Structure 1
Amino acid sequence: MPLAPAHHLAQLTIALPLEPQTSDRLAGFVELLEPVNALADRFPGSVWRLQTEDGDATAVRGLGDDRLIADLSLWESLEHLAAYVYGGSSTRR
C-alpha cells in the first residue's frame, strides 16, 4: 500500500476583476472557466480545488468583498503544478 505524501502544494490566486463577470469584457474569461477547471481536475498531480457543488470556484463568497474571486487548489508537487500551468506534459490523464 503506497504511503500518503507528507505534504501538498497549495496554489492560491485572488483577483478583483475590473468589471462584473457578466460584462462583455470578461466573457472570454468566463467562457473558459469550465474547460480549464475540468482540465485541472483530471491533470496528474491535482489533488483538490475549492469549488461550489456546481464546480464553480468563482461563486465562492465570504472573502470580505463579493467582487473578489479566488482559485485555491492542492497539488502533489511543484513539478505537477508547473506542468499544468506551463503545459508540455505528456502525462495528462
Structure 2
Amino acid sequence: MSGYQLAQVNVAIFRQAKDDPVNQDFMDALDRVNAAADASPGFVWRLQSESGNATDIPLGTGINPDLIVNLSVWEDVESLRNFAYRQTDHVAVLR
C-alpha cells in the first residue's frame, strides 16, 4: 500500500430529464452496478444518499437538476481499472 488512495469523479448531464423514460435502463442498473463496485477488490467508499446512489443528491441552488455526480474512492488505479473496464454490468452501462 502506497499510503494514497484514488478518488474518481464522473460528472454528467442527462440529455433528457433525469426521470425521462429514455434514462430508465441506466437508472435501473444503478443498484446492480453499485453493489458490484462495493464488492470489488480495492473499493474503499462511494458517495451515496439514503437511496443507495448519488443521482438524487441536490448539488445546489441554480444547478441543473439533471446534472449528476458520481464519486468513488479506490485503493489504486489497477482496482479502479479492473472495475471500470472488466466488470460486466459496468461495461454494459458504459456501452
User: 1:9: which partner in 2?
Assistant: 6
Cα distance between partner residues in 2 of 1:7 and 1:53: 28
Q: TM-score, normalised by structure 2?
A: 0.81
User: 1:66: which partner in 2?
Assistant: 65
Secondary structure of 1:10's partner?
strand
Cα distance between partner residues in 2 of 1:71 and 1:37: 11
Q: Does residue 51 of the first structure (1) align with residue 48 of the second (2)?
A: yes
Cα distance between partner residues in 2 of 1:5 and 1:46: 15
Cα distance between partner residues in 2 of 1:25 and 1:66: 16
Residues paired across the two proteins, number: 85
CA deviation after TM superposition for structure 1 residue 5, in Å: 5.1
User: 1:42: which partner in 2?
Assistant: 39
Kindly name which structure, 1 or 2, has the bigger radius of gyration based on alpha carbons: 1
Cα distance between partner residues in 2 of 1:81 and 1:72: 12
**Aligned CA-pair RMSD:** 1.6
Structure 2 unpaired stretches of 5+: 88-95
* TM-superposition CA deviations, 1:59-80 (whole Å, max 9, x none): 1112533221010000000000
Percent identity among equivalent residues?
36
Larger helix fraction of residues: 2
